[in-house]
Amino acid sequence: MTYRRGAVIPSAVILFILLSASYVYAGSSSENLLYIYSGGRKIGYSYDSVKTEGGITEAVEKARIKVRLLDNTGDVETEAHYRLSGGKLLSFDFRFESPSGKVTAGGEREGDTMRVKMKTISGDSEFVFDVPPGLIPASMLPSRLMADSPAAGREYVVPVLDPVTVIAASSPGGFETRHKITGREGVEAPSLGVIDAWRVESVLSGARVTSWITDGGELIKQSIPPGMTALRDESGRVSEDGLSALDIEGATSIPSDVAIKDPRGLVYMKAEIEGISPEDGFDLSDAYRQSFDGKYVSIRAGDTSSVKSYKLPNTEPEFVPYLASENLIQSGDEKIVSKSREILGGEEDSLKAVRMLNGWVFTYLRKTGTAGIPNAKDVLKTGSGDCNEHSALFAALARAAGIPTKTVSGTIYLDGRFYYHAWNEVYVGEWVAVDPTFGQVPADATHLKLVEGDLNKSSVIMNAAGKINLKILEASSNEIRK
């Protein structure tokens, strides 16, 4: 089978957007149910409830979607429970489950911090984050927006807790969500007719979402990237009958106007980009591989024969962020460190070490579509995954060896289309793009970088899904790549 990795947009991020969509008025007791559609087909639902009794507020958020990645189809589900007192978040419990595995996490407040304990297939871990003032679950967001005299043009910044964001963050934080009320308009939903509601434009974990909310805090409709719509249902009964699978590859891939005969050997590509805006937050230019002038992007694969590699480990202060251990890239873990040393066998040349680690990950991991939260320790144990898992494991092994390593997301050309994809960049004397999914050092020039950063940053790509258009102007494979 030709390995085709479709969406780097992980189902975890899509589920975060759906959970954040679970707006409900936080009165003494309330429920909210929305069904999610893609291309007119029902693919899942989002449900929440909020109940206050004896001064304690309990909020529950659930979401489920059916997804198809590569040859795999299955349900992805999240469930979160929150406890608050006097508007202060006290604790939460979270579960993420898919055919690829299960992640659970629980947080308990300790003063102005939250201590989180997480459990995955590879074991338990623990971390702490600072709780910003006014932090709330997504299900209580409309009460914050609607309680303060909503009017067209008003803008709000609200800290919202999403457990996926907390787990996936390279450093704790990133709770800020932004909202702007753009006006009132009639919106139609099945069985409800036309409802007069406020239109709210929001930025949630980097993704742009449009909601229609009544004065009473009822969410009637929501537009969610990539091309999904959530519609309110008044039955109050969750039904999982007749769910269709969201084809993430189909929903997010970009057709190419040019057939590239040897994409893995491409060393230079120039393309015209349409459908994105500066506000989307893309990283389209860097100082070493990719440049963008506002309309045209140029990419060079690079020639590693001229790289002046160094002796490991790298100890330069400027690279500390790219050597750090993270929640999902556990470069300091004993098993990760041991495996990295085993693979390298004492090799101290930075470029040679990258080739060895990249080749090992490429060979070791079984290529399969996954719908989960990529965790380097889990990937090392299971030995399988898609581009997210390859990227996470390579980053952990490389950082453990003292090689500054980034995770990046963007698109790659395969079989006549550009698919969303994840890979890495390493500093080996200069920054070089590498792709452990395809075993490439350097990565070919069809790797169009859109964002740098952890799993949360990849949700920014959702802003372009279904809108971005690429016109290939030049493509060359004539140069020699070392």
Same domain (yes/no): 229, 270: no
Helices in 99-239 by DSSP H: which ranges?
Answer: 141-146, 163-168
Same domain (yes/no): 348, 293: yes
91 phi and psi, to 5 degrees? -165, 165
Same domain (yes/no): 235, 279: no
Asked whether residue 456 is domain-assigned, the answer is: yes
Same domain (yes/no): 50, 124: yes
DSSP secondary structure letters along 188-207: EETTTEEEEEEEEEEEETTE
> Of the residues 195, 219, 249, which one is the last residue of a structural domain?
249
Could you give the count of Cα atoms lying within 13 Å of 272 in the half-sphere of its Cβ? 5
pLDDT-based confidence at 298, cuts 50/70/90? Answer: very high
Residues 52-100: tens digit of each pLDDT: 999 999 999 999 999 887 667 889 999 999 999 998 999 999 999 988 8
Same domain (yes/no): 232, 259: no
* Long-range Cβ contacts of 128-135 (<8 Å, 24+ apart): 128/172, 129/166, 129/172, 129/173, 130/172, 130/173, 131/89, 132/159, 132/175, 133/159, 134/87, 134/158, 134/159, 135/89, 135/159, 135/160, 135/161, 135/175
* Long-range Cβ contacts of 57-61 (<8 Å, 24+ apart): 57/26, 57/82, 57/83, 57/84, 57/85, 57/140, 58/82, 58/83, 58/84, 59/26, 59/84, 59/137, 59/139, 59/140, 60/139, 61/19, 61/22, 61/137, 61/138, 61/139
Same domain (yes/no): 237, 267: no
Cα angle 356, 360, 362 (rounded to 5 degrees) comes to 120
In angstroms, the CA 163 to CA 393 distance is 22
Same domain (yes/no): 365, 384: yes
Going by C-beta distance under 8 Å and a sequence separation of 6 or more, which residues neighbour residue 456?
A: 13, 165, 168, 169, 174, 205, 206
Asked whether residue 350 is domain-assigned, the answer is: yes
Asked whether residue 5 is domain-assigned, the answer is: no
User: Residue 469 in contact with residue 274, Cβ under 8 Å?
Assistant: yes
Same domain (yes/no): 46, 154: yes
Please indicate whether residue 30 or residue 127 has the higher confidence score (pLDDT): 127
> Of the residues 249, 281, 309, which one is the last residue of a structural domain?
249
Quick one: pLDDT at residue 17? 53
Quick one: pLDDT at residue 171? 64
Listed range (121-125, 195-199, 272-276) with the worst mean pLDDT: 272-276
* Total tally of structural domains belonging to the chain: 2
Asked whether residue 2 is domain-assigned, the answer is: no
- pLDDT of 10 > 50? The answer is no
Asked whether residue 1 is domain-assigned, the answer is: no
292 phi and psi, to 5 degrees? -145, 130
Using the structure block, give the residue that is written with the tokens 């449009």. 210
- pLDDT of 448 > 70? The answer is yes
- pLDDT of 459 > 80? The answer is no
Same domain (yes/no): 274, 241: no
Q: What percent of the chain has pLDDT over 70?
A: 91
Q: Taking the mean position of all CA atoms in its chain, how far away is CA 333?
A: 23
Identify the three-state secondary structure at position 445: coil
Could you give the count of Cα atoms lying within 13 Å of 325 in the half-sphere of its Cβ? 12
Please indicate whether residue 14 or residue 26 has the higher confidence score (pLDDT): 14
Asked whether residue 312 is domain-assigned, the answer is: yes
Nearest to 428 by CA among 348, 368, 374: 348
- pLDDT of 125 > 70? The answer is yes
Residues 15-31: tens digit of each pLDDT: 445 544 444 433 445 78
Domain that holds residue 429: 253-476
Please indicate whether residue 45 or residue 5 has the higher confidence score (pLDDT): 45
Quick one: pLDDT at residue 20? 47
Using the structure block, give the residue that is written with the tokens 């004539």. 478
List the CATH number of the domain containing 407. Answer: 3.10.620.30
In angstroms, the CA 33 to CA 58 distance is 17
Same domain (yes/no): 190, 307: no
- pLDDT of 128 > 90? The answer is yes
Residues 305-343: tens digit of each pLDDT: 999 999 999 999 999 999 999 999 999 999 999 999 999
Same domain (yes/no): 427, 415: yes
- pLDDT of 217 > 90? The answer is no
Same domain (yes/no): 27, 138: yes
> Of the residues 249, 272, 290, which one is the last residue of a structural domain?
249
Residues 225-234: tens digit of each pLDDT: 878 899 999 8
In angstroms, the CA 474 to CA 122 distance is 45
Q: What average pLDDT does this structure show over 427-449?
A: 97
Using the structure block, give the residue that is written with the tokens 């991991």. 365
Residues 148-193: tens digit of each pLDDT: 889 999 999 999 998 988 888 766 667 889 999 999 999 998 878 8
Q: What average pLDDT does this structure show over 300-305?
A: 92
Asked whether residue 119 is domain-assigned, the answer is: yes
Q: What six digits make up the tokens of 477? A: 């494979």
Averaging pLDDT over each range in 5-9, 336-340, 472-476, which range is the top one?
Answer: 336-340
Mean pLDDT of the chain: 88
Asked whether residue 481 is domain-assigned, the answer is: no
Quick one: pLDDT at residue 14? 53
